[in-house]
Structure 1
Amino acid sequence: MEDFLAGWVGGASSVVVGHPLDTVKTRLQAGTGYGNTLKCILTVYKKESVAGFFKGMSFPLASIAVYNSVVFGVFSNTQKFLTQYRSGESQPSRSLSDLILASMLSGVVSVGLGGPVDLIKIRLQMQTQPFLKANLHLKPKAKDLWNQPKYKGPVHCVTSIVQKDGLMGLYRGANAMLLRDVPGYCLYFIPYVFICEWITPDNYTDANPYTVWLAGGIAGAISWGTATPMDVVKSRLQADGVYYNKYKGVMDCISQSYQKEGLKVFFRGITVNAIRGFPMSATMFLAYELSLKALRRDQTVTVTNP
Structure 2
Amino acid sequence: MSADFFAGYVSGAVGIVVGNPLDILKTKLQAGTQRPHNPAPVLAVIEQQLQTRSRTLPWTSWLRGAASPILGYGALNALLFMTYNRSLCLLETGSISPDSPPGRASGVSLWTAGALGGLATFVVSAPTELVKCRAQVSSQSSLEVTKALWKRGKLRELYLGGGVTSVRDAVGYGF
| Shorter-chain TM-score range | 0.7 to 0.9
Query: 118, 121, 126: which is aligned to 2:132?
Result: 121
Contact 1:119 1:172 survives alignment (8 Å): yes
Query: What does residue 28 of structure 1 align with?
Result: 29
Q: Report the Cα distance in structure 2 between the residues aligned to 1:159 and 1:116, rounded to whole angstroms.
A: 12
Question: Which of the two has higher C-alpha Rg?
Answer: 1
Per-residue CA shift, 1:208-244, capped at 9, x if unaligned? Answer: xxxxxxxxxxxxxxxxxxxxxxxxxxxxxxxxxxxxx
Residue identity matched to 1:43 = Q
Normalising by structure 2, we get a TM-score of 0.78
Q: Report the Cα distance in structure 1 between the residues aligned to 2:47 and 2:74, rounded to whole angstroms.
A: 29
Give ranges in structure 2 of 5+ residues lacking alignment: none
Instruction: Give the length in aligned residue pairs.
Output: 163
Q: Decide whether aligned partners of structure 1 residues 38 and 167 sit closer, same or farther in structure 2, where only a CA change above 3 A counts.
A: same
Q: Decide whether aligned partners of structure 1 residues 17 and 6 sit closer, same or farther in structure 2, where only a CA change above 3 A counts.
A: same
Residue identity matched to 1:105 = L
Q: Report the Cα distance in structure 1 between the residues aligned to 2:14 and 2:89, rounded to whole angstroms.
A: 25
Q: Report the Cα distance in structure 2 between the residues aligned to 1:110 and 1:7, rounded to whole angstroms.
A: 14
Residue identity matched to 2:46 = I
Query: 64, 71, 85: which is aligned to 1:76?
Result: 85
Per-residue CA shift, 1:52-103, capped at 9, x if unaligned? Answer: 33212222212223222322332233223323328x9524534111111111
Q: Report the Cα distance in structure 2 between the residues aligned to 1:26 and 1:93, rounded to whole angstroms.
A: 41
Query: 101, 106, 110: which is aligned to 1:99?
Result: 110
Contact 1:79 1:99 survives alignment (8 Å): yes
Give ranges in structure 1 of 5+ residues lacking alignment: 128-148, 188-306
Q: Report the Cα distance in structure 1 between the residues aligned to 2:15 and 2:78, rounded to whole angstroms.
A: 12
Identity score, percent = 29
Give the match's secondary structure for 1:166.
helix
Q: RMSD in angstroms over aligned alpha carbons?
A: 2.4
Q: Decide whether aligned partners of structure 1 residues 116 and 92 sit closer, same or farther in structure 2, where only a CA change above 3 A counts.
A: farther
Give the match's secondary structure for 2:14.
helix
Query: What does residue 19 of structure 2 align with?
Result: 18
Query: 22, 27, 49: which is aligned to 1:44?
Result: 49
Q: Report the Cα distance in structure 1 between the residues aligned to 2:18 and 2:50, rounded to whole angstroms.
A: 17
Deviating 4+ runs (over 6 angstroms): none
